[in-house]
Structure 1
Amino acid sequence: MKIRKLMILVFAMGLGVLLAACGGNDEEGSSRKEDKAINLAYVEWDSEIASTHVIGKVLEDLGYDVTLTPLDNAVMWEAVAKGEADASVAAWLPVTHGAQYEEYKDDIVDLGENLTGAKIGLVVPSYMEDVNSIEDLSKHANMQITGIESGAGVMQATERALQEYANLKGWELVPSSSGAMAVALGEAIKKNEEIIVTGWTPHWKFAKYELKYLDDPKGVFGGEESIHTFVRKGLEKEMPEAYQVLDNFYWTTKDMESVMLDISDGMSPEEAASKWVEENAEKVAEWTAGIE
């Protein structure tokens, strides 16, 4: 009887230890969940809306409390450099965000390319058959170029083009927004009118319309661009799993444009991102390999 009572006592003590351990794990899990709040900054271009919502959805599915914060070009870089935001997948290099990279490169961690084959330049509808180079422009489109937000790299490059190309003397670069530029392009195409816009790839407009880049013999717009991921210092130590996903994040122009096109056709960014994540489970599994 004494042995039986002793066994019951040992069992009860063991069960108590087990329950205490489980309770401790719950508290630890809650702590980890609280620590899994992450803020992704991005510039509010169609391409970056797509990529940021996709990577945000992947992190959300892993249990992160994700905040997506649209910011101006320079502010996006400053926010990550100061630790006010944790990361961004929206760095266009070497031209578009070249100035911001030079200013903040010592205060951020560059995780490298998440997309290659990007490009910026002047874009026209394909039906403008007599224009194939910037040097071909004369009195086209009332000597106006429809731009996006002032301060964007493609706008700065276009300002340089107005100085470099003698045939663009007297031309005007009209700033607007990426959305307003796309609307103006669509309206012009409906009417078969001439229009020159500041353009970049990837962008859904190339999937929706027949467009072409104008040759840039002076190389003002640079060559091929790539989009990079950058994070704040200390993120790898504090959120290693999120860091891994961000470091592994890589997709194609076709991937990005499919999300952008869904958004332009009426889906919310959240819906379009969820659709892409669901349809590309194998690719997402490569980003999240080893994370449960």
Structure 2
Amino acid sequence: MRMRILSAMMLMVVCICGSLGTALAGHKGKVRLAYVEWDCATATTNVARAVLEEKMGYDVEILPVAAAAMWAATASGDVDGMMAAWLPVTHSSYLKRFSKKVVDLGPLVTGAKIGLVVPDYVTIDSIGELGSHAGKFSGRIIGIDPGAGVMAKAEKAIEDYHIKGMELMEGSGATMTAALSDAIKHHQWVVVTGWAPHWKFGRWQLKFLEDPKGVFGKAENIHTVVRKGLSTDKPEVYRFLDRFKWTRNNMETVMAWDQEPGANRYENAKRFVREHPELVDSWLK
């Protein structure tokens, strides 16, 4: 009888502790972050979620949306913020439209850019050299979806640099990286529309072709942008998001992990947090 009572009491303690642990995991309330489903934004947002949940005790909801919806949701207060604002060029129209309703916390990573990318064993260095080596590239620039900004810039580059014998091929991010992978495997010349940060830079040795005419624009930064009032009603979250800074190499490391077969992006984010305690501590001071 005594053993049954002790067993029942122990079970009750386990249940209470389990329930308490679950409650404490989000005891500080909920944080909502919007992001566009780009690999860079997904990696960043999941790492932020890992810190907010595992280190700070918040319950975090991350919401994948289109870029316009991401900005609108932040401006309206439907979400607390986003970590995927490409500035000063790509998202400049959104910042201008919503500037009075959001707070720009500045860059979380610098040196973001778009352009034409080749493996580092390709011996040309400039976009202007593509035409004279069109045969080695099989007359193709491997692109992504036709509505992407980098595709419009690539078309303009073909015109402005008078590139003959090269055609811009439409596709997707997946078909672009598949073509790049196959060419590198066989040590063939290939040129693709590219942007950084991107996981491909964490997997292969690549380089942007120089763009002396500035068709693709200057390097950009990726900013954190939050809703008005966050600093007042969630000051700890605001401070963390304001201090979150990392490098392209950091980001591309996580992005490369995310491309591994069977990868769990949130588990990869938690792995990064575990393996970089000093960096994480700098975000929490």
TM-score tier by shorter-chain length is 0.7 to 0.9
Deviation at 1:104, TM superposition (A): 2.9
- Out of 273, 280, 285, the position equivalent to 1:277 is 273
- Out of 212, 226, 234, the position equivalent to 1:239 is 234
* Letter aligned with residue 65 of structure 2: L
- Report the counterpart of residue 78 of structure 1 in structure 2: 72
C-alpha contact 2:139 2:165 (8 A) present in aligned 1: no
- Report the counterpart of residue 64 of structure 1 in structure 2: 58
- Report the counterpart of residue 221 of structure 2 in structure 1: 226
- Report the counterpart of residue 195 of structure 1 in structure 2: 190
Question: Would you identify which runs of 4 or more consecutive aligned residues in structure 1 move more than 3 Å?
Answer: 140-144, 148-153
| Largest Rg, 1 or 2 | 1
2:82 matched to 1:88? yes
C-alpha contact 1:163 1:169 (8 A) present in aligned 2: no
CA distance in 1, matches of 2:252, 2:166: 35
- Report the counterpart of residue 161 of structure 1 in structure 2: 157
Of residues 250-259 and 90-99 in structure 1, the stretch that sits farther from structure 2 once superposed is: 90-99
Deviation at 1:108, TM superposition (A): 1.6
- Structure-2 change in CA distance of 1:146 and 1:75 (3 Å): farther
C-alpha contact 1:97 1:153 (8 A) present in aligned 2: no
SS at match of 1:166: coil
Unaligned runs of 5+ in 2: 1-22
2:38 matched to 1:45? yes
- Cα deviation digits, residues 29-52 of structure 1 (max 9, x gap): x8xx67721221112122111111
Deviation at 1:122, TM superposition (A): 0.7
C-alpha contact 1:36 1:239 (8 A) present in aligned 2: no
**Please, what TM-score do these two structures have when normalized by structure 1?**
0.79
- Cα deviation digits, residues 197-247 of structure 1 (max 9, x gap): 122222221232121111101011222221110011222222111111111
CA distance in 2, matches of 1:245, 1:271: 20
- Structure-2 change in CA distance of 1:116 and 1:79 (3 Å): same
Unaligned runs of 5+ in 1: 1-29
CA distance in 2, matches of 1:100, 1:157: 20
2:120 matched to 1:103? no
Percentage of pairs with the same residue: 45
CA RMSD of aligned residues (A): 2.5
CA distance in 1, matches of 2:165, 2:215: 16
- Out of 9, 29, 39, the position equivalent to 1:36 is 29
**Please, what TM-score do these two structures have when normalized by structure 2?**
0.81
Q: In the comparison of the two structures, how many residue pairs are matched?
A: 258
Deviation at 1:149, TM superposition (A): 4.3
SS at match of 1:85: coil
- Report the counterpart of residue 205 of structure 2 in structure 1: 210
Deviation at 1:287, TM superposition (A): 1.4
- Cα deviation digits, residues 161-199 of structure 1 (max 9, x gap): 23422226873251413x332222112222333322122
Deviation at 1:251, TM superposition (A): 1.0
- Report the counterpart of residue 146 of structure 1 in structure 2: 142
CA distance in 1, matches of 2:144, 2:185: 20
Deviation at 1:111, TM superposition (A): 0.5
CA distance in 1, matches of 2:201, 2:280: 25
SS at match of 2:100: helix
CA distance in 2, matches of 1:199, 1:100: 23
- Report the counterpart of residue 176 of structure 2 in structure 1: 181
- Structure-2 change in CA distance of 1:151 and 1:104 (3 Å): farther
C-alpha contact 1:73 1:151 (8 A) present in aligned 2: no
